């Protein structure tokens, strides 16, 4: 997958972050926004260095899948009935603890 398709597919996440009502599930939207910004920074750095891009291609795909999964659960949180919110928040917390930090780790690897 090339980097342009990653950015195009992340456009729905960026639009979701922009369109969400302020004050509504702020920490999840903030996490999603920050993860997208880091991911796009990673893509920009890798587009300038093809050797690193080949080396980290699987990590980039994993980060993309993480963002898409977090986005899907955040969207479910905004659109579902309140009875499902505890389960969805638990899944978001788990993804935020286990998977989102991998984006920061990859960014640090690429910058060093």
The CA dihedral of 46, 51, 53, 58, to the nearest 10 degrees, is -150
pLDDT of amino acid 24: 65
- In sequence order, the 6+-apart residues with CB closer than 8 A to the CB of 90 are none
Q: Please compute the mean of the pLDDT values over residues 31-47 and round it to a whole number.
A: 93
Q: How many domains, the chain?
A: 1
CA 100 to chain CA centroid, nearest Å: 7
- The 10s digit of each residue's pLDDT in 59-99 is 999 999 999 999 999 999 888 899 999 999 999 999 999 99
Token code pair at residue 50: 């093809």
In tens, the pLDDT along 22-32 reads 766 678 888 99
Is the torsion defined by CA of 111, 92, 33, 56 positive or negative?
Answer: positive
54 pLDDT above the threshold of 70: yes
How much is the pLDDT for 1?
A: 62
Q: Kindly report the pTM of this predicted structure.
A: 0.88
Enclosing domain of residue 71: 3-111
């Amino acid at each position: 997958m090339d980097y342009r398709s990653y950015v195009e597919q992340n456009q729905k996440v960026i639009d979701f972050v922009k369109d969400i009502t302020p004050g509504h599930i702020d920490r999840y939207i903030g996490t999603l926004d920050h993860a997208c910004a880091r991911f796009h920074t990673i893509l920009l750095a890798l587009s300038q260095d093809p050797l690193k891009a080949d080396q980290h291609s699987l990590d980039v795909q994993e980060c993309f899948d993480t963002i898409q999964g977090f986005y899907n659960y955040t969207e479910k949180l905004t659109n579902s009935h309140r009875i499902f919110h505890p389960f969805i928040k638990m899944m978001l917390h788990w993804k935020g603890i286990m998977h989102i930090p991998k984006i920061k780790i990859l960014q640090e690897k690429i910058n060093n």
